Every structure is written in C-alpha cells, then in structure tokens.
Structure 1
Amino acid sequence: MINLDNKVALITGSSDGIGKAAAVLFSSLGAKVAIVGRDQTKLDQVAAECEAKSPHNYKPVVIKADFTRDEDVVRTFEETISAYKHLDILVNNAGLGGTKDIRDPDYIHDYDRVQQVNVRSVVRLTELSIPHLVKSKGLIVNVSSVVAVKPSEKFWYYSMSKAALDMFTKTMALKLAPHVRVNSVNPGPVRTRFLSPLVPDTNTVYEDMDKRQPLGRVGDPNEIANVIAFLSSEASSNMTGSIVFSDSGYLLAE
C-alpha cells in the first residue's frame, strides 16, 4: 500500500543513519529525493545508492548544509524547489544530541546548537514549505524521540528539544488540516553513529541497551525508515497529529 512513485521528498539529515535509510527507501519506492547533510563524501555515497535503487534511475538533489546556520536551512529549501519546482513530502530528520551538565560553564553554547537544529530549523523549513505542501496536498513527517516523553537526565536539553518538536507536530497538524498532514515518528535507541561524538565506546553502550529493551535489541535505521515511509504515504491517510513510537518496547522498560 506504500506508493511514493514520483513524489518529491526533502529529507534532512540524510547522509547517515535514519535519514540515509529513509532516502534509499523512498528512492526504491519511486520518489524523487533531495538529501541534506554536512559530509559531502557521505552524501555522494548515499546519492549513488539512491540512484541505484530507484526504479526510474532518479538522481537525488544533493545539498551540503549545516543546520546550525539559519542561512543553510533556507538555502536547502530554495535548492530543493529550484530543482524540482514542487514538494510533496518534508521529512525533518536532522538532529543534534548533547550531554553537557547545566552546571558546566559552556553548556549554553551546546544548548543553543541543539535547539537550533532540532527545533528552529524544523519550524523554518515548515514555514517555507507550507505553500508548496498546501498546493500538492502534501505532508510532513518529523523525526522525534522517545525521550520527548521519557526524560533523560543526561540528554536533558535534547529531551527538551524533542518535547518541543512533538508539540509542534500537534499544533501544525491542527493549523494545516485538512490540506497538509503532519505526523511524527519517535524512535527509541537505534544503532547509528548518532552517539559517536557523545560517548567514548558506542559498541559497549549499544550492547548494554540491547539487554535493556523488551525486544532484546535496539532498533535498526531501516525499521524507522519503514515507519517514515508509511506516514509519508496514503496508507496513513487518516492520520494527522499522531506521535508514532518505534522503540523496541523502550517505553515499557523500567
């Protein structure tokens, strides 16, 4: 039931992890994608994989951008529309984590970066996309987190940003209905490189997380991409303002 043939999708944070998995899956389902990230080498690799998977051999629009800079957020949107003249799907996946203690004298710089990427860039891209999505009767999928509802002491300002994102999803779903649907997928722990800049030994961390999940393992990026594709298709046509958890049972655990 998932058909994205010839849909135009802008997928942020798509040089790795969940965003990469979504871009490749969307391409395999016939979509035209714009991929965005900070690492040109990784973006080029994802673009080649997307083209190879596309039944139409569509080449993605590749945009190198750093969403800590508002001008890069705006440029991302402009380059997408310049290339495709159209937009059906906006996937707000770009995100930053952070673990500085509030008593750390330098925490506010990290805090601002996380809020800029995880919240402000989403708001900005949504604002810019609305006229095009109304015209196409399109939709938005925000990638949030289980920590939006289950606080993380260590990731306290990351948790704050994702709680804000969930409320943004709900308020925009109300504001843009019935023209544009807005939903969120909230992953639990997923085996990606997301934690690499934040913890010294990610393998050990993920092995410990595996043991603590009711399903006995953390998630895989492709599993989250499947939910994003579902929310981006007519298979979810009766859903807006929904917060969908894909978390290996994380919220059930002690």
Structure 2
Amino acid sequence: MNFVDKTVLITGAASGIGNAIAKNFAKLSANLSLLDINKDNLYKVAEECENLSKITVIKFVIDVSNDTELKQAVNETVKELNKIDVLINCAGILSSVNITDSDILEVYDKVLRVNLRSVIAATHFAAPALIESKGCIVNISSVMSKLVCERAIPYNVSKAGITHLTKCVALELAKYGVRVNCIAPGIVRTNILENNGYSKERRQEIEKSCLNKNLIKQIIKAEEIAELAAYLASNKAVSITGTEFVIDCGMTIFSQHCNLN
C-alpha cells in the first residue's frame, strides 16, 4: 500500500491511536492534515511525520467540538492540499460519571460533543471534498459500544453512536463512491487514561481487568489500529463499506460466552 499524492485528514492526531495513524500514513507517503487541541504534542507529531517521508504536513490546533474551528480546518486543508482523500475521525475523551451524579448531564454533553457530534460535523464539512475525490472515511469507535460498564454512560453511548453513524453515512454516501467504515478497538496501550486524569493505580487496575477478559492475553498496540485504518482507506478495501471492524483480543467474545459444562 502507498498513499502517494493522497491527502489524509486526522482528528485527534496528537496522541494515542491518532498519533500512530498519522505516523503510519506518513510512512505510506500520504500528505497529512493533523488536528488536535494539544499544541505541543501536535507539533511534535507533525515534525515526526515530516521526518518519516517527503510529504507535506499541515496542522491545526483546534477544539473539534467547535464547529467554526473545525470547518475552517477542513476548508484550509482543501485550500492548501487541494483535496481530501481520507478522513480519520479519531478525537475522543473519556469520562467517569454515574447516572445519579449531579453533573451527569454536563459531562454527557461534553463527551458527546467531542466523541460523536464532532464526527458528524467533520464528515459534513469534508463531504464535498470526499465526494469529489471518491474518498473514504474511517471512524474510531470502541468495543465499549457493545459492552456495559459502570460510570461510563457518556463514553459508551458516544461510541455506540459512532458505530451506527458509520452505517448511516455509508448508506448515504455510497452513491457518490465514498466508503465509510469504523474500527472498534479493545484496550489499547496509549496515554488516554493518563491524559484524562486516571491515577497510575487506577490505570493498572483497568489494564488488569481488561487483560482478564481478553482471550489473547495482551494489550493491543496502537500501531495495529493504524495498520487496519490504512488498509480500510486503501484500494485493497474497495468493496468494504458500512462495516465495523473489532480488534479487541477477543474481549467481546469473552464477555458474551457462557460455560455449559
């Protein structure tokens, strides 16, 4: 696979899965438009991508939940790089809140604006360019869209929304030659828990709990998600659209199994 002369726009590109996706596309010679709210990390990732290949990298320090900022970044991408071939919606935040907590509605609104509404907005703003290029979209969901866990209503609902949104947009854009898929990872070794204020002890507890539920006893590498995203965006996947790809070391199977012995 290579993406020479292709333009890939990635939200949430400064860390974790988005970081790995950006670097992988850089290795595959794609020109990049990188969006994130974290300026220092974003500039660092952009420099690393530029050092990996002879490509053009532009960057936008924005809040994806701000429609004006997001629309401007998309429009500037088309202006500077002439087109958008691939949209990767990867921006996301976590939350820890219970349905009985006084701030549940405030937290819900914040998480949904970043995790779900920004995906709709980015897709809407980029749609004309993607239709022109007959491009594709890869959304990053989560196995939490399928599982139930405590104190995670906003996050789980947002990821379930992404999964269904993927199918809806795939239906609407198919007639224009645009493909839309999503990836639902299990626990991935990134800094998302640390970035969202989880203590070292709590992060270790979560990792141990997830490992116990994984049929394959390991933590997923962000690079695995990046490679799958590149495949779905490539001409090797021209017959794939409206599909969710689960990469979770068997966590969802474990959660659904029963022992009849």
**TM > 0.5:** yes
> Which bin holds the TM-score, normalised by the shorter protein?
over 0.9
How far does residue 153 in structure 1 lie from its aligned partner after superposition? Answer: 2.7
Q: Which amino acid aligns with 2:34?
A: I
Counterpart among 63, 73, 86 of residue 70 in structure 2: 73
Query: Which structure 1 residue ranges, 4+ long, deviate > 6 Å from structure 2?
Result: none
Instruction: Tell me how far apart the structure 2 counterparts of residues 75 and 98 of structure 1 sit (CA, whole Å).
Output: 28
| Structure 1 match to 2:258 | none
How far does residue 218 in structure 1 lie from its aligned partner after superposition? Answer: 1.7
Structure 2 residue matching 1:238: 3-state secondary structure: coil
The Cα offsets for residues 109-162 of structure 1, whole Å up to 9 and x where unpaired, read as 111111101111111111111111111110000000111122233211111111
| Structure 2 match to 1:121 | 118
| Structure 2 match to 1:64 | 61
What are the ranges of 5 or more consecutive residues in structure 2 without an aligned counterpart? Answer: 256-261
TM-score (norm 1): 0.94
Counterpart among 174, 177, 194 of residue 177 in structure 1: 174
Q: Which amino acid aligns with 2:116?
A: V
The reply to whether residue 251 of structure 1 matches residue 252 of structure 2 is: yes
What is the correspondence of 1:59-138 to structure 2 with a 5 Å cutoff? 59-138=56-135
- When structure 1 is superposed on structure 2, of 208-217 and 126-135 the one drifting more is 208-217
- Kept after mapping to 2: 8 A contact 1:10/1:87: yes
- Kept after mapping to 1: 8 A contact 2:98/2:150: no
Instruction: Tell me how far apart the structure 1 counterparts of residues 242 and 93 of structure 2 sit (CA, whole Å).
Output: 23
- Kept after mapping to 1: 8 A contact 2:183/2:245: yes
| Structure 1 match to 2:51 | 52
Structure 2 residue matching 1:82: 3-state secondary structure: helix
What are the ranges of 5 or more consecutive residues in structure 1 without an aligned counterpart? Answer: none
- When structure 1 is superposed on structure 2, of 201-210 and 117-126 the one drifting more is 201-210
| Structure 2 match to 1:40 | 39
- Kept after mapping to 2: 8 A contact 1:191/1:206: no
The Cα offsets for residues 44-68 of structure 1, whole Å up to 9 and x where unpaired, read as 11111101111xx223111101123
| Structure 1 match to 2:191 | 193
TM-score (norm 2): 0.92
| Structure 2 match to 1:12 | 11
Q: CA RMSD in A?
A: 1.4
Q: Which amino acid aligns with 1:39?
A: N
Instruction: Tell me how far apart the structure 1 counterparts of residues 111 and 73 of structure 2 sit (CA, whole Å).
Output: 19
- Kept after mapping to 2: 8 A contact 1:50/1:59: no
- Kept after mapping to 2: 8 A contact 1:26/1:229: yes
- Kept after mapping to 1: 8 A contact 2:11/2:64: no
| Structure 1 match to 2:222 | 221
Q: Alignment length, in residue pairs?
A: 251
Q: Which amino acid aligns with 1:182?
A: V
